[in-house]
Structure 1
Amino acid sequence: MTERIPEGELDTTIPPSGAGCVECESEGSWWFHLRRCAVCGHIGCCDQSVGAHATAHARATGHRWLRSYEPGEDWFWDYAREVEAVGPVLASPLHHPLDQSTPGPAERVPHDWQYRLRTN
Structure 2
Amino acid sequence: MTVSDPHVVMIRSVVPQTPEGCADCLRLGTPWVHLRLCLTCGHVGCCDSSPMRHARAHAHTVGHPIVQSFEPGESWRWCYVDETMV
TM-score normalized by structure 1? Answer: 0.63
1:3 aligns with 2:2: yes
AA of the residue aligned to 2:16: P
Q: Which has the higher helix share?
A: 2
In structure 2, stretches of 5+ residues that fail to align are none
Per the TM alignment, residue 16 of structure 1 is displaced from its structure 2 partner at its CA by 0.5
1:44 aligns with 2:45: yes
Distance in 1, Cα, partners of 2:81 & 2:57:
14
* 1:1-120 matched pairs, under 5 angstroms: 3-4=2-3, 9-12=10-13, 14-18=14-18, 19-85=20-86
Count of aligned positions: 83
Distance in 1, Cα, partners of 2:11 & 2:67:
11
Equivalent position SS for 1:58:
helix
Equivalent position SS for 2:42:
coil
Distance in 1, Cα, partners of 2:74 & 2:83:
18
**Between the two proteins, what is the percent identity of the paired residues?**
42
In structure 1, stretches of 5+ residues that fail to align are 86-120
